[in-house]
Chains A and B, each alone.
Chain A
Amino acid sequence: MIHVNGDAMEWKEGLTVREVLVRRNFRFPLLIITVDGELVQPKAYETTTIPDAADVQVVHMMSGG
């Protein structure tokens, strides 16, 4: 089990940042993502795997007209 923005999410071996975004339907382009406090660059979303029990923060920047 991991936590994404405080919400529990099922974990599996090899779970990537990109898969978390897809599962949560996080489609906004301006994101700041950390895994256990470590910043993940957008180009590494596909390759960064998330360990079990990790705390994932997906900070969406401001939006709205």
Chain B
Amino acid sequence: MSQFVFDPTKVMDIDFTQRTQYLEGLEAIKAAHKVLKEIAFTPSLPDKGYTNRTLYVNVGTLEVKEKPVTQQMKDVFIGGRGFGLWHLWNAVKPTTRWNDPENEIIISPGPVAGITQYAGTGKSLVVSLSPQTDIPIDSNVGGYFGPLLKFSGFDALEIQGKSDRDLIVFIDGQKGIIRIEEAPEEPVDSHVLAEVLTHMYAENEADRVNISVVCTGAAAEHSLIGMLNFSWWDLRRGCIRLKQAGRGGIGTVFRNKRIRALVCRGPQVKGDLNHVADYETIAKTGVKYHKEIRENDPHQCMMRRNGTAHIVEIMDAYDLLPTHNFQYGSHPDTHKIDSQYWQSRCTQQTVDGCWYGCSMACAKGADGLEVKTGPYKGHTVTVDGPEYENAAGLGSNCGVFDPDYLLELNFYCDTYGICTITYGTLTAFVMECYQRGILNKERTGGLEMNWGNAEADLEMMHQMARGEGFGLIAGQGVKKMKEHFIKHGWGDPQLINDIGMENKGLEYSQYMSKESLAQQGGYALTNKGPQHDEAWLIFMDMVNKQIPTFEDKAEALYYFPLFRTWFGLNGFCKLPWNDVVPSDNAKQPEAHKIPEHVQNYVDIFSATTGIKIDKDELIVQSARVYNFQRIFNIRMGKGLRKDDHAPFRALGPVTTEEYLSRQERYDKQIADEMGLDPTAMSLEEKMAAHRKWRQGRYEQLTDAVYKRRGWTPNGVPTLERLKELGLDVFPEVVDVVKLHL
């Protein structure tokens, strides 16, 4: 039941090779580099997915060394997010904060990452202590850096220390050289910097595909919400493309360490650089999946045409598209930013994908964007996307339905190094505060932050990048803005706390959870904060009504966060799991888990590493890392029940307008679920009843989820659970738990 059929005549005629060039002055920039440290290493390819080495770089002391990846690391932590968390655990103390030198940024792709036979295998996981949450953040990202790092010889890159000058760390996996260079004259913003560095470090035109740059932009220096861009060279367009490790402010940590960029030059990618244990199985599984994509995607989600933006109009139709700071779930202007529009606006005559061999190819380039504001005004640029989160966060949630402005917001988020999800949610909060008089023109320094005012929205972003004005305050994120507004007496503290959509200090991603109790848990009963990559249960819960009891919801909040954690241990993208399904999926038991795809993952892991697992062991692998991360949070002074509370906007209607917009639903719940008579109640009484009922249900859900996860009522993994998972072999982990039992 696809929404519409692809019509090639509607695709805009845009030359996808035309854009502003930034290479003038490249030689002078390069000449200003000063080599601070250079060491040789022996490049090596993985064996069964692992190179068995971590590269440690201290940008403060300039220490560079190799560290062994032990068998225990592989057995317990697998790779990716697991390796990141383990390295970080060993690097920091409970008192360490994001801007201390001992904080690290770890990039690890995972054992499967880099195979080219299956879709979505180029992901890296980036882990650090977050400036927004003070606990570990993990952020997954495409682009070539992770796989090229591994094919250069390292399962992970561990960066520690703080420099007193701007640096580039260059890993040359062809020549076996690691070089730390002072880089005083580099451009700052990502779309320029990645382009310049790709040309600078490639030895010739053909070598550009072997280069990947990790960098951020100007806003990362002045905000807590900086993200990291991971580049790849787009051969067809002749330009760099960027994918983002967005959540939690890792770009801010990156610039705090004075790192300008990481550059990896890997070997030319070929079919089996992972030297897998059973190539035949991987090839066979890949062929089967590619056929499924080719045959089913055109009449399922059309990911190859639309990418994740295909759900913009679907979320709108189901009253789930966040609109005006998550107050409402749909808007009459959604058609202006739906997938039909993006399909016509994004270049369709070239295959897009952020790693080799991905037949889902959901990366979409919007070429020929003429920038209207800011330092790149008048430039013609290519911007990726928008993905669903960007269209919803920067668009509907802020009332911006002008697609060109939306693309420009997306472009500047990317090049300035700002997480689009975070920026969308914090701007929506600012706009609602402006609507309700908590903010005004005086308090915003003249910015008229009305719904849909894209020019003011962009100016706030430019201020963030320049480090001035209200942009500096907004760049601290929703949690700190709430504290700031309350401290200055700018509004009712309860209202400010209710409508500020953050949990643990991280902004919500772009789905409406207030009518789905399970999704409320899917957001707030998480390790890093409310990001949808743990569990997306809205359809199962709210639409299908498949999980009616607390125990049913708890089971879903046990299985899916663990299943999805596993992608981040191995270097998989989640999208190929569920954005296409086999033709006979409906006939399978537990069809909602897409069992054939789960088996594909089991087979690919086993065939890569030579370690035979089944679907149950897959969950156990994740549970080890998931519980370790929970204990890590506790070690850092968070990670308990008090930290899993959600703002009321995520649970139910805060304002009378919200209540009235869904009055029929809410009144029915008062009658059916609460046993009260809504006709005998005032609006205020009905809203108070809903608040009490919804908060009570959330607490009941929390109890059920903790129990299912093997945690105490305070959210602490029990010693029995640690023993089951084999985490009791780490005395320091057990000690953290014992302190809270």
Instruction: Please indicate the chain B residues that have their CB under 8 angstroms from the CB of A28 in the complex.
Output: 1, 314, 318, 539
The size class of the interface chain B forms with chain A is 35 or more
Give the Cβ gap from B520 to chain A, nearest Cβ, in Å: 14
Q: Which residues in B have their C-beta under 8 angstroms from that of A30? A: 300-301, 578, 581
Instruction: Point out which of A6, A27, A28, A42 has the most chain B C-beta atoms below 10 A from its C-beta.
Output: A28
Residues in A neighbouring B509, C-beta threshold 8 A: 65
A residues in contact with B300, CB < 8 Å: 29-30
Contact between chains at B314 and A63 (CB < 8 Å):
yes
Residues of B within 8 A of A63 (CB): 311, 314, 536, 539, 578-579
User: Given the known A-B contacts A29-B299, A32-B591, A39-B587, are A64 and B538 also in contact in the complex, defined by CB atoms under 8 Å?
Assistant: yes
Residue among A26, A41, A42, A63 facing the most chain B CB atoms (10 A cut-off):
A63
Q: Which residues in B have their C-beta under 8 angstroms from that of A32?
A: 585-586, 591-592
Contact of A21 among B1, B388, B586, B591 (CB under 8 A): B1
Instruction: Indicate the member of A5, A41, A42, A65 with the most B CB atoms within 10 Å.
Output: A65
Q: Does B544 contact A (CB under 8 A)?
A: yes
Bound CA–CA A15/B546 (angstroms) = 24
B interface residues, Cβ below 8 angstroms from A: 1-3, 299-301, 308, 311, 313-314, 317-318, 387-389, 509-511, 532-533, 536, 538-540, 543-546, 578-579, 581, 585-587, 591-592, 594
5 cross-chain CB contacts under 8 A: A26-B1, A29-B1, A32-B592, A60-B543, A64-B532
CB–CB A61/B314 < 8 A: no
Query: Out of A5, A39, A41, A65, which one reaches B543, CB within 8 Å?
Result: A5
Residues of B with C-beta under 8 A to A25: 317-318
Q: In the complex, what residue of chain A is closest to B299 when comparing beta carbons?
A: A29
> Contact at B387–A65, with CB atoms within 8 Å?
yes
How distant is the Cα of A3 from the Cα of B728 in the complex, in angstroms? 50
Inter-subunit contact B308/A6 (CB<8 Å): no
Across the interface, do A29 and B544 meet the contact criterion of CB distance under 8 Å?
Answer: no
Contact indicator A59/B536 (Cβ below 8 Å): no
Q: Given A29-B1, A42-B1, A64-B311, do A5 and B299 touch, yes or no (CB 8 Å)?
A: no
Give A1-24 as 1s and 0s: 1 = Cβ < 8 Å from B's Cβ atoms: 000011000000000000001000
Q: How far is the CB of B562 from chain A (nearest CB, A)?
A: 15
Given contacts A6-B545, A61-B539, contact A31 B1 (CB under 8 A): yes
Interface size on A, residues (CB 8 A): 24
Q: Which of A21-51 contact B (CB under 8 A)?
A: 21, 25-32, 39, 41-42, 45
Q: Find chain A residues with CB under 8 A from B314 CB.
A: 27-28, 63
A62 near B592 with CB under 8 A, answer yes
A residues neighboring B (CB under 8 Å): 5-6, 21, 25-32, 39, 41-42, 45, 57-65
Given A63-B314, A65-B532, the answer on whether A27 and B543 have CB atoms closer than 8 Å is: no
**Chain B residues whose CB sits within 8 angstroms of the CB of A26 once the complex forms:** 1, 543
Q: A45 near B536 (CB under 8 angstroms)? A: no
Residues in A with CB closer than 8 Å to B581 are: 30, 61
Q: A27-B3, A31-B1 are in contact. List 12 more A-B contacts (CB 8 A).
A: A26-B543, A27-B318, A28-B318, A29-B3, A30-B301, A32-B592, A59-B591, A61-B591, A65-B311, A65-B389, A65-B509, A65-B536
Closest to A24 in B: B543
Given contacts A29-B1, A29-B3, contact A62 B591 (CB under 8 A): no
Partner of B544, one of A5, A27, A39, A64: A5
The residue in chain B whose Cβ has the minimal distance to the Cβ of A22 is B1
Complex interface: chain B residues within 8 A of A31 (CB): 1
Q: Which residues of A contact B533 (CB under 8 A)?
A: 65
A27: which of B313, B511, B532, B538 is its contact (CB, 8 Å)? Answer: B313
Given A5-B545, A29-B3, A39-B587 in contact, is the A62-B540 Cβ separation under 8 Å?
Answer: yes
Which of B2, B510, B536 touches A29 (beta carbons < 8 Å)? B2
Taking CB atoms, residues of chain A closer than 8 Å to B543 are 5, 26, 58, 60
Closest partner residue, chain A, to B539 (CB atom) = A60
Instruction: Report which of A5, A6, A61 forms a contact with B592, defined as CB distance below 8 A.
Output: A61
Check A59–B311 contact: CB distance below 8 A: no
Q: What's the nearest-Cβ distance from chain B to residue A13, in Å? A: 24
Nearest-Cβ distance from residue A29 to partner chain B, whole angstroms:
5
* Residue of chain A at shortest CB distance from B388: A65
The 7 closest A-B pairs by CB, nearest first: A64-B536, A60-B539, A32-B586, A62-B578, A27-B317, A6-B545, A59-B544
Nearest-CB residue, chain B, relative to A21? B1
The distance in angstroms between the C-alpha atoms of A16 and B643, with both chains bound, is 48
A39–B588 alpha-carbon span in the complex (Å) = 11
Q: Which residue of A lies closest to B544 (CB)?
A: A59
Q: Residues of B contacting A57 with CB < 8 Å?
A: 544
B318 cross-chain contacts in A, Cβ below 8 A: 25, 27-28
A49 to chain B, nearest CB (A): 18
